[in-house]
Amino acid sequence: MSREIFYDEVFDAQVHYRILLDSMARPGKINSLTLENIQPPAGINRASVLIGMALLNADVSFDAAGPYADEITRYLILNTSAVSEEHRKADFIFIPGDSEARYILEARTGTLSYPEESATFITDVKEISEEKIPASIALTLKGPGIAGEKTVFVSGLEEPLLEALKEQNLEFPLGIDMILTDGNDHIVCIPRSNRFSYAARTA
């Protein structure tokens, strides 16, 4: 495992951070986050890695879950200098979309005095689309940044994670922000300020 030499820590980070801000300000909007030359380890989407590059540094902590968690952790430490921490205390948590709901239920939701001290989840799914796709959940968001409501279709995301996210986000401004990424370098955000519902999986 080696450090990413094609990633520009100033230019690329700024570009990707602006995209993240746009996605968070417009929940349900599908954006793309890509950089062809990086070589992330198995078990994490490239867009998730680029989010890590943009948000992680030596002053924040993160955790990674899933069968490739050790490799992902070493890679992110090498490329961001962030601190590895268990999920109950971590600032950023990288998980697959089929992870156990406890990761969300046990994560930080901030305090009324410091709501910004909540955790942010970066969640790998298979596909995100504005059109109906096989074996997907229809995810409908309402709230700030959305005129009316916005629906996206997501495959590879398990319903218990969404139920846990709903539970943790009942008492805004407390709660958890979630960023979904897919294998096509797409991202979509579910901020804790928004409410969402979802329909059963489409065939």
Q: Is 108 part of a structural domain of the chain? A: yes
CA angle 123, 108, 31 (to 5 degrees): 30
User: Using CA atoms, how far apart are residues 116 and 103, in angstroms rounded to an integer?
Assistant: 18
Is 143 within a domain? no
Asked, for residue 151, whether it belongs to a domain, the answer is no
What's this model's pTM, rounded to 2 decimal places? 0.96
- 103: CATH: 3.40.50.11310
**Residue 117 DSSP class:** G
Residue 112's CB: how many other CB atoms inside 10 A? 8
| 82, pLDDT greater than 90 | yes
Residue 133 lies in a domain: no
Q: b or e along 184-203 (b: 16 or more beta carbons within 10 Å of the residue's beta carbon)?
A: ebbbbbbbbebbbebeeeee
Residue 52: inside a domain, yes or no? yes
The string of pLDDT tens digits covering residues 144-179 is: 999 999 999 999 999 999 999 999 999 999 999 999
| Full domain range(s) for residue 32 | 11-126+159-195
pLDDT band, very low/low/confident/very high, at 200 (cuts 50, 70, 90): confident
Whole-Å CA distances, 7 to 15, 47, 145, 149, 172: 12, 13, 31, 36, 36
CA atoms within 13 A on the CB side of 11: 4
CB 97 within 8 A of CB 165: no
Torsions phi, psi for 118 (to 5 deg): -80, 165
Percent of the chain at pLDDT exceeding 70 = 99
Residues 6+ apart with CB under 8 A from 188: 23, 27, 28, 29, 30, 31, 128, 152, 154, 179, 180
User: For 25-35, what is each residue's pLDDT tens digit?
Assistant: 999 999 999 88
Q: Is residue 3 part of a domain?
A: no
Domain count, the chain: 1
Within-domain flag for 139: no
Q: What is the mean pLDDT of residues 63-75?
A: 97
Query: How many helices (H) does the chain have, and how many strands (E)?
Result: 5, 11
Tokens of 27: 């929940």
Mean pLDDT over 9-16 rounds to: 94
Tokens, residue 58: 């030596």
pLDDT at 182: 98
- Residue 8 gets the label, from left (phi > 0), alpha (psi -120 to 50) or beta, of beta
Is residue 137 domain-resident? Answer: no
